[in-house]
């Protein structure tokens, strides 16, 4: 069940971060409320996930998968460029998460 909470936390964080641009610097009420609600849900779900998943592993997955997804969303929906440097950075993040998971399994 902890990993279900972790997936929910990741999904909520992705939605909240995706909405951030539409808040226009937190000057638009409804997008701002939706964004902040998404972050609140994400943190609540993450706090439940760490009951059964080591906090370092949970946070690494939460932040890495969220980052990778936001880069993809930015490229597909916001016309942000995918550069070799971005690909290298995401690859390093994924390698770090894999390393942490391997260390957390022992």
Rounded to whole angstroms, what are the CA distances from 83 to 67, 72, 89, 106? Answer: 15, 12, 10, 36
pLDDT single digits (tens) 38-51: 999 999 999 999 99
Q: What is the pLDDT of residues 11-41, one digit of tens each?
A: 999 999 999 999 999 999 999 999 999 999 9
Q: Provide the whole-model pTM.
A: 0.85
Contacts of 28 (CB under 8 A, 6+ apart): 22
Which is it for the CA torsion 95, 99, 96, 74, positive or negative? positive
The pair of three-digit structure tokens given for residue 33, joined into one six-digit string: 């409320």
> From the CB of residue 43, how many other CB atoms can be counted at a distance below 10 Å?
15
């Amino acid at each position: 069940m902890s990993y279900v909470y972790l997936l929910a936390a990741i999904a909520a964080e992705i939605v909240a971060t995706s909405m951030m641009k539409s808040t226009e610097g937190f000057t638009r009420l409804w997008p701002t409320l939706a964004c902040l609600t998404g972050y609140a849900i994400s943190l609540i779900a993450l706090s439940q996930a760490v009951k059964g998943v080591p906090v370092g592993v949970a946070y690494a997955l939460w932040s890495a998968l969220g980052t990778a997804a936001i880069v993809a969303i930015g490229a597909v929906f916001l016309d942000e460029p995918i550069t070799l440097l971005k690909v290298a950075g995401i690859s390093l993040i994924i390698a770090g998460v894999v390393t942490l998971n391997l260390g957390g399994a022992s």
